[in-house]
A = this chain, B = another copy of it.
């Protein structure tokens, strides 16, 4: 803030020594706000998170919000990392959502479970290096692979967990955008790899390879939707699929494999007309609910919700259903993962702490598949409206 805010009549949120994370300070801040706004905040105050634990996760804390938590399952996952049957926590206020995912999960479990695989497991930062001319930019791009080892040493000097795996260049006029791809262990890792990339970029400038750089070019699509994400690298690329016998599909969703394939076709036309990125029914619903429950960076849903759902008839006229999530940015350490209810929710999945991120990613992708199938069933069978009337908030009032 500026030095003279107060004299300019700006009433800042109260400032405290060491940022104000003690219980008293949090209460004082909240009470100041209550007086200032003339509102009462008893439920915000009813926070079960120790205030000092909030340091590093939020500023100007005044308490906590609460959101209902439901559970959907069982979900059988046959992954490379996740091998078991799970009950998945969803934090949401959208009626019918948990029931919908649960329906898909039970069906998938009945069909033998979901096969899931992590295909790519990196995160990416894309700085931009700018030059006097296209000739200089081209020369830089051509020479860069030769600096890989030095860049790796520089980048990794800033982090215990991040590992630089690959660099790729994109010449754009007289600028060069470089993708620095890292493995980030079990962290989402953006802060980690931005710092590493800044260091490596500074090395390039200090050694005369480029006159200047910006650590962000905008290309990495962190927390944004883009076509770039489909190529992988920004978070985990995960696929999850299952073969669902026609009888199982009929039993749970009251539709046939061919009907669901036709629905895919028809709604693809809508996606094309919308100039959408990828194709899916509602990845954002499941991702958001699980991310909130499990202490993920929820804003990453903007990129994680890009993907492709697919339905195919098998040779036996059963259904093969799959989801491809090219940019699933999830973590089991760091960020909000260790805070209060988040740690409990990750623990429900056996995914709390180090070494669990890939497992968690496979469970999430498998859950998303369940949600796609259930929604596909509701749309195809024409039950979408009635399901929301049964479970949702705006159901008809009975006397």
Q: Are A218 and B94 in contact (CB under 8 A)?
A: no
The reply on A137 being an interface residue by CB < 8 A is yes
Contact digits for A326-355, partner B, Cβ 8 Å, 1 yes 0 no: 000000001110011110110110100000
A134 with B106, Cβ < 8 A, contacts A63-B69, A312-B265, A344-B44 known = no
Pick from B138, B217, B312, B394: contact of A191, CB under 8 Å: B394
Most buried by B among A62, A271, A282, A299: A299
Contacts of A272 in B (CB 8 A): 172, 230, 278-279, 308
Q: Are A270 and B58 in contact (CB under 8 A)?
A: no
Question: Which 6 interchain pairs have the tightest Cβ spacing?
Answer: A93-B336, A218-B270, A227-B275, A227-B227, A217-B270, A225-B225
Q: Chain B: which residue is nearest A264 at the CB level?
A: B265
The reply on A192 being an interface residue by CB < 8 A is yes
Can you show 12 pairs from A to B with CB atoms below 8 A apart?
Answer: A37-B347, A37-B348, A59-B95, A63-B69, A67-B339, A93-B295, A126-B270, A134-B241, A173-B308, A218-B266, A225-B276, A298-B301
Contacts of A229 in B (CB 8 A): 274
The reply on A363 being an interface residue by CB < 8 A is no
A102 with B392, Cβ < 8 A, contacts A43-B344, A284-B302, A301-B301 known = no
Q: How far is the CB of A329 from chain B (nearest CB, A)?
A: 11
Contact digits for A290-330, partner B, Cβ 8 Å, 1 yes 0 no: 00110101111110011010101000000010111000000
- Contacts A1-B103, A192-B394 known; list 8 others, CB within 8 Å: A58-B94, A64-B66, A126-B270, A133-B320, A174-B239, A218-B279, A230-B272, A282-B299
Pick from B47, B270, B382: contact of A219, CB under 8 Å: B270
Contacts of A5 in B (CB 8 A): 106, 110
Report the Cα distance A119→B137, complex, angstroms.
10
Contact digits for A86-129, partner B, Cβ 8 Å, 1 yes 0 no: 01011111111111001100110110000111010000001010
Contact digits for A29-58, partner B, Cβ 8 Å, 1 yes 0 no: 100010011011111101111000010111
Q: Are B170 and A231 in contact (CB under 8 A)?
A: yes
Contacts of A312 in B (CB 8 A): 173-174, 265
Q: How far is the CB of A103 from chain B (nearest CB, A)?
A: 7
Q: Are B134 and A115 in contact (CB under 8 A)?
A: yes
Report the Cα distance A257→B232, complex, angstroms.
34
Contact digits for A342-386, partner B, Cβ 8 Å, 1 yes 0 no: 101101101000000000000000000000000000010010110
Report the Cα distance A70→B57, complex, angstroms.
10
Contacts of A255 in B (CB 8 A): none
Contacts of A29 in B (CB 8 A): 71
Report the Cα distance A174→B309, complex, angstroms.
11
The reply on A149 being an interface residue by CB < 8 A is no
Chain A, range 143-202, C-beta contacts under 8 Å to B: 170-175, 177, 191-192, 194-195, 198
The reply on A256 being an interface residue by CB < 8 A is no
Contacts of A379 in B (CB 8 A): 214-216
Contacts of A95 in B (CB 8 A): 56-59
The reply on A209 being an interface residue by CB < 8 A is no
Q: Chain B: which residue is nearest A340 at the CB level?
A: B43
Report the Cα distance A71→B172, complex, angstroms.
29
Q: How far is the CB of A390 from chain B (nearest CB, A)?
A: 9
Q: Are A344 and B8 in contact (CB under 8 A)?
A: no
A341 with B44, Cβ < 8 A, contacts A173-B310, A224-B276 known = yes
Q: Are B288 and A2 in contact (CB under 8 A)?
A: no
Report the Cα distance A223→B97, complex, angstroms.
14
Q: How far is the CB of A283 from chain B (nearest CB, A)?
A: 8
Pick from B1, B61, B117, B292: contact of A70, CB under 8 Å: B61
Q: Chain B: which residue is nearest A296 at the CB level?
A: B93
Report the Cα distance A65→B298, complex, angstroms.
14
